[in-house]
Amino acid sequence: MKMRQLKIYGLSLLVVIGGLGSAGLPAQAASQSKTVTFGQLTNQNPHRLAAIREVARQAILTKTHAKASRVPAVYQVKLPTHMTKKATLTTSGLRMNLLPNKFNVKQVTLPYAQLTGKILNRYLPKSARTSPLKYKKVVALTFDDGPDPTLTPRLLKTLKANHVHATFFEVGQSVSRYPKITRAVLAAGNEVGNHSWNHPDFSRIGTSASVNQVIRTDQAIYAATGKLPQYMRPPYGNITAAEGRQIQHPIIRWSVDSRDWALLNTQKDIQSVLSATRSGSIVLMHDIHAPSVAAVPTIIKRLKAKGYHFVTVSQLLNQQALPGLQYFAAGNYRTAGK
């Protein structure tokens, strides 16, 4: 049997040549792992560490095939908060040991593809590293308050016909009512974010109630899709500093407010978006108003004619949005609640 030494992700691997099993995998393989601290992985950045915790929660739910009722419990699992704690780089991902928890999970491995932008590039395989956007003019369309049983599917057809992906910030009670539509949003290559359970003003209901709104909506989205949403957008854009610290998602705001909810006029919606959009803009619209959905084909056509490329929020922010921060456009962010 021949062995061959390779260098992958900074690790020395001994790979067996030949001897494939029925599954097409090497019959035997030996590898070395590398122990690192979270401080090394994140360059001592607490927001990056919070992003690792976000990925770990999904990994715990996935590993245990947890039902949606367990989502609140995953937020009670004690995950690393100190930079001196250690994890292990392996060929399949970042392996973390866990403290005793209600899921009876002692260890999880976080896939490198889910750690893009969360840990430093040098600890990632090349395929998972961040890189500059390819286009000079980019814009992200975002739609709030859905899913709507009629208008959201109509919008999805428009996006598909124009080869455009967008980010949908959905209300939990509507997700629970129309889970198939939320699944369709994701299946079409779009993103789904958290927009609270029933759209209250977070700055008025208090931190505890706001956090509960987010977790309840995470639960609804997980029930519909099997995935926790990565992003959160507070209703009206209002969020306090305390809420920003406790909500475990990056906060996505906007730089272009179409005010479509007030205009309710397709031509005015079009003009509102076109006049304000710049490269790197995050555009706020709603997929619960017919004039808004009707405006989208023209908005896409005219912005494409100006040389714009449409991207998701993740792509616009180069996969680097982090919990505890709020984002208004590409390169425009600050601490959540400030």
Q: What average pLDDT is seen over the chain? A: 92
- pLDDT beyond 70 at 25: no
Note whether 122 and 146 are same-domain residues. Answer: no
Please indicate, yes or no, if residue 23 is contained in any of the structural domains.
no
Please indicate, yes or no, if residue 276 is contained in any of the structural domains.
yes
Confidence of residue 142 (pLDDT cuts 50, 70, 90): very high
Note whether 90 and 143 are same-domain residues. Answer: no
In this structure, of 17-31, 34-48, 104-118, 266-280, the range with the lowest mean pLDDT score is: 17-31
Taking alpha carbons only, the member of 305, 288, 253 closest to residue 155 is 288
Q: Which residues share a beta bridge with 141?
A: 283
3-state secondary structure of 24: coil
Q: Left, alpha or beta for 313 (phi > 0: left; psi -120 to 50: alpha)?
A: alpha
- pLDDT beyond 90 at 2: no
Q: Which two tokens stand for residue 82?
A: 């100190």
- pLDDT beyond 70 at 31: no
What string of DSSP letters covers 77-103?
Answer: S----STT-EEEE-SSSEEEE--S-TT
Note whether 261 and 142 are same-domain residues. Answer: yes
Confidence of residue 134 (pLDDT cuts 50, 70, 90): confident
Please indicate, yes or no, if residue 20 is contained in any of the structural domains.
no
Please indicate, yes or no, if residue 10 is contained in any of the structural domains.
no
Going by DSSP bridges, is the β-strand pair 281-286/256-257 parallel, antiparallel, or unpaired? parallel
Note whether 204 and 305 are same-domain residues. Answer: yes
> Which of 144, 145, 148, 260 is an active site residue?
144
Query: Environment class of residue 87 by beta-carbon count within 10 Å: exposed (0-12), middle (13-18) or buried (19+)?
Result: buried
- pLDDT beyond 60 at 13: no
For the beta carbon of residue 81, count every other beta carbon within 10 angstroms. 11
Q: Which two tokens stand for residue 127?
A: 């395929």
> Which of 165, 195, 286, 289 is an active site residue?
286
CATH code, domain carrying 49: 3.90.640
In this structure, of 19-28, 157-166, 222-231, the range with the lowest mean pLDDT score is: 19-28
The pLDDT score that the predictor gives to residue 314 is: 97
What string of DSSP letters covers 104-127?
Answer: ---EEEE-GGGGTTTS-GGGS-GG
Out of 93, 128, 163, a domain closes at: 128
Backbone angles phi, psi at 289, to 5 degrees: -120, 125
The pLDDT score that the predictor gives to residue 132 is: 85
- pLDDT beyond 70 at 306: yes
The pLDDT score that the predictor gives to residue 104 is: 98
pTM: 0.90
Note whether 110 and 155 are same-domain residues. Answer: no
Q: How much of the chain exceeds pLDDT 90, in percent? A: 89
Note whether 75 and 198 are same-domain residues. Answer: no
Q: Is the peptide bond before 323 cis (omega within 30 degrees of 0)?
A: no
Please indicate, yes or no, if residue 52 is contained in any of the structural domains.
yes
- The residue type found at 45 is N
Residue 144 a catalytic site member: yes
Q: Left, alpha or beta for 244 (phi > 0: left; psi -120 to 50: alpha)?
A: alpha
Please indicate, yes or no, if residue 12 is contained in any of the structural domains.
no
Taking the C-alpha atoms of residue 112 and residue 93, their distance in angstroms, rounded to an integer, is 5
CA trace torsion 194, 199, 203, 205 (10° rounding)? -110
Note whether 122 and 147 are same-domain residues. Answer: no
Note whether 124 and 145 are same-domain residues. Answer: no
Task: Write the CA distances from 318 to 247, 312, 314, integer angstroms.
Answer: 21, 10, 6
What is the tens place of the pLDDT at every residue in 69-124? 999 999 999 999 999 999 999 999 999 999 999 999 999 999 999 999 999 999 99
Residue 286 a catalytic site member: yes
Task: Write the CA distances from 175 to 75, 183, 186, 192, 292, integer angstroms.
Answer: 21, 9, 12, 10, 20
The range of the structural domain enclosing residue 73 comes to 33-128
The pLDDT score that the predictor gives to residue 244 is: 95
Out of 106, 128, 150, a domain closes at: 128
Compute the C-alpha angle 34/38/40, nearest 5°: 70
Out of 71, 100, 128, a domain closes at: 128
Note whether 169 and 90 are same-domain residues. Answer: no
Half-sphere exposure of 13 (CA within 13 A, CB side): 15
Taking the C-alpha atoms of residue 265 and residue 241, their distance in angstroms, rounded to an integer, is 35
Taking the C-alpha atoms of residue 298 and residue 303, their distance in angstroms, rounded to an integer, is 8
User: What's CA 212's distance to the chain center, in Å?
Assistant: 19
Note whether 185 and 303 are same-domain residues. Answer: yes
The pLDDT score that the predictor gives to residue 256 is: 98
The pLDDT score that the predictor gives to residue 23 is: 31
CATH code, domain carrying 236: 3.20.20.370
Our count of domains for the chain comes to 2
Please indicate, yes or no, if residue 305 is contained in any of the structural domains.
yes
Please indicate, yes or no, if residue 13 is contained in any of the structural domains.
no
Going by DSSP bridges, is the β-strand pair 138-144/107-110 parallel, antiparallel, or unpaired? unpaired
Note whether 281 and 249 are same-domain residues. Answer: yes
Confidence of residue 148 (pLDDT cuts 50, 70, 90): very high
Q: Give me the helices (H) in the chain, please.
A: 38-42, 46-64, 71-74, 151-161, 172-177, 179-187, 202-205, 207-225, 241-246, 260-263, 266-276, 290-305, 313-316
Note whether 94 and 227 are same-domain residues. Answer: no
Q: Which residues share a beta bridge with 86?
A: 37
